[in-house]
């Protein structure tokens, strides 16, 4: 059985949505994600623009401006809820790790 779309988020999805707490265009996101993650996560332009289209179609972000080819986006309430759910899921995973291995085993 295939996984439901957006049931869980990849790192690229998570950080793209996180960037859109503030209105940003695609180029801003491409710069911001590596800056937020100290270079640990990068999003390719093809991946980013595919994600922006999918998130927009799903109502998780909305386009706020269009100036020529430059489009700006902002997180919607639905997108914020998805981020919140993913954050809780990640916290539960971290709690499970700590319960099994303990804090000192990091």
Residue 2: inside a domain? no
Mean pLDDT on 66-91 = 95
Mean pLDDT on 30-54 = 96
pLDDT at 80 over 90: yes
Residue 3: inside a domain? no
Residue 62: inside a domain? yes
Residue 80: inside a domain? yes
Residue 26 lies in domain: 11-101
Residue 57: inside a domain? yes
Rounded CA-CA distance 18/38 in Å is 15
| Residue 21 dihedral angles phi and psi, to the nearest 5° | -60, -30
Q: The domain that contains 21 carries what CATH number?
A: 1.10.10.10
Mean pLDDT on 85-89 = 96
Angle value at C-alpha 70, between 25 and 30, nearest 5 degrees: 35
**What is the pLDDT, as a whole number, of residue 104?**
59
pLDDT at 105 over 90: no
Q: How confident is the model at residue 102 (pLDDT cuts 50, 70, 90)?
A: confident
pTM above 0.75, yes or no: yes
Q: What is the total count of domains within the chain?
A: 1
Mean pLDDT on 92-100 = 94
**What is the pLDDT, as a whole number, of residue 5?**
72
**What is the pLDDT, as a whole number, of residue 71?**
95
Q: Tell me: the pLDDT tens digits for 2-19?
A: 446 778 899 999 999 999
Asked if 84 contacts 22 with a C-beta cutoff of 8 angstroms, the reply is no
């Amino acid at each position: 059985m295939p996984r439901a779309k957006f049931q869980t988020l990849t790192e690229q999805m998570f950080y793209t949505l996180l960037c859109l707490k503030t209105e940003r265009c695609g180029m801003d996101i491409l710069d911001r994600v590596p800056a937020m993650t100290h270079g640990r996560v990068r999003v390719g332009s093809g991946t980013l623009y595919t994600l922006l289209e999918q998130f927009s179609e799903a109502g998780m972000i909305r386009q706020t401006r269009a100036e020529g080819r430059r489009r700006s986006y902002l997180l919607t309430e639905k997108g914020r809820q998805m981020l919140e759910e993913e954050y809780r899921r990640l916290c539960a995973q971290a709690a499970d790790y700590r319960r099994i291995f303990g804090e000192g085993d990091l």
